[in-house]
Amino acid sequence: MARQSLNVGAVANDGTGDDLRSAFQKVEANFIEIYANTAVGSQIQIAGNEITSTQSNANLKLSASGTGIIELEGLSFGDNNISATRSNDDLVLNASGTGKVKISGLKYPSADGSANTFLLTDGSGNLSFGAPTGYTFVGDDSTGTSVPLGETFKFVGGTNVTTAVSGDQVTINAALTTSVFTEMDAGNIRIEANDVLNTATNQHLDLKTTGTGNVRIQSGVGLDYNTTTASSSAALTIDQFTMATYRSANYTVQVSDTVNGEYQTSLLNVVHNGSSVFFQEFGVTFTGSRQLATITADVSGSTVRIRAVPSGSNTTVYKTFRTAIIV
């Protein structure tokens, strides 16, 4: 409703103004409008330069109509956006005193950091400016070098060695010729010229294979060592090899009776023709009053088996060292 004005006439009591009833009807209508649409009849109080909600713990809401926005000096509020309204103005959020600007649980520093620093978190929502550490690269000689962030770390090749970097992968290619490596260390093993050395003081150099593999010399000779323990007088297999791989073998056999502390050693020569095996044990030597076991050989399927026939049932350990020549 538009504001209703009272007609007071041109001069007092000239009879041209509103009568008393009509005048108070207009006053009443204006007051109804005021109470219905202003802070007077709502839960808002306007006093001095403050606008206050009079309802306990109630929010103070400023709402625009339709697509309109709320404008304050230099700022506009619309939906979930706060914008600066003056051309090229910054939007500045400042805390008071030692307070921090806090957004979504993160407290931001109140002053700028030094050049080339980054925002770092302490893991508890507090952000500060700092310089992140770089990376330290250490060689197998324990000598390290620190590379700051932003620097370039280069992989350098050498004679017959090239390097390449693509994405997160480093590729090192080496042409393995006799002139590339004159010495190589792996743990306590050193390959130097044509020597294989154990660099640990007074330690053996062990050549071992996995599974049924053998250590081969040159490619025509295979070496193997095996240990078997039994506590029975029944014959047992203490080693075996495939006939298709080896034609003949020479064994050194050691037998140990762990109960009586007696020992035996012998040599065994074995050869086969593809279907039958031929063998001879000789040089049988033992420390006790009797031979601990007789060593024989037989064929089982495609395998030559080395068999031991114990002379008793004491716990006995059989150790064999085989030198075999391929077919």
Total domains in the chain come to 4
Q: Are residues 250 and 267 in the same domain?
A: yes
Q: Read off the tokens for 267.
A: 């040599």
List all residues 6 or more positions away from 199 whose beta carbon is below 8 Å from its beta carbon.
185, 188, 189, 190
> Which residue range forms the structural domain that includes residue 16?
1-61
Is 191 within the bounds of a domain?
A: yes
Is 83 within the bounds of a domain?
A: no
Please check whether residue 266 is in contact with residue 273, taking contact to mean a CB–CB distance below 8 angstroms. Answer: no
For residues 272 and 294, what is the distance between their CA atoms, to the nearest angstrom? 20
Please check whether residue 144 is in contact with residue 136, taking contact to mean a CB–CB distance below 8 angstroms. Answer: yes
Please check whether residue 322 is in contact with residue 221, taking contact to mean a CB–CB distance below 8 angstroms. Answer: no
Q: Are residues 244 and 317 in the same domain?
A: yes
**CA distances from residue 203 to 42, 89, 186, 197, 225 in whole angstroms, order as listed:** 97, 78, 15, 10, 18
Of 131, 93, 124, 80, the C-alpha closest to 106 is 124
pLDDT at residue number 68: 84
Is 307 within the bounds of a domain?
A: yes
Q: Are residues 279 and 225 in the same domain?
A: yes
Is 186 within the bounds of a domain?
A: yes
Q: Are residues 248 and 321 in the same domain?
A: yes
Q: Are residues 224 and 294 in the same domain?
A: yes
Q: Are residues 240 and 287 in the same domain?
A: yes
pLDDT at residue number 72: 78
Is 69 within the bounds of a domain?
A: no
**CA distances from residue 15 to 6, 19, 24, 222 in whole angstroms, order as listed:** 14, 8, 17, 140
pLDDT at residue number 233: 95
Q: Average pLDDT for consecutive 10-residue bins of the chain (327 residues)?
A: 79 83 85 66 75 83 81 80 85 83 83 83 88 76 76 78 86 69 70 80 82 75 92 96 96 97 97 97 96 96 97 96 94
pLDDT at residue number 177: 60
Is 125 within the bounds of a domain?
A: yes
pLDDT at residue number 173: 85
Please check whether residue 318 is in contact with residue 306, taking contact to mean a CB–CB distance below 8 angstroms. Answer: no
Is 247 within the bounds of a domain?
A: yes
We report the CATH number of the domain holding residue 246 as 2.60.40.1680
Q: Are residues 225 and 299 in the same domain?
A: yes
Q: Are residues 202 and 285 in the same domain?
A: no
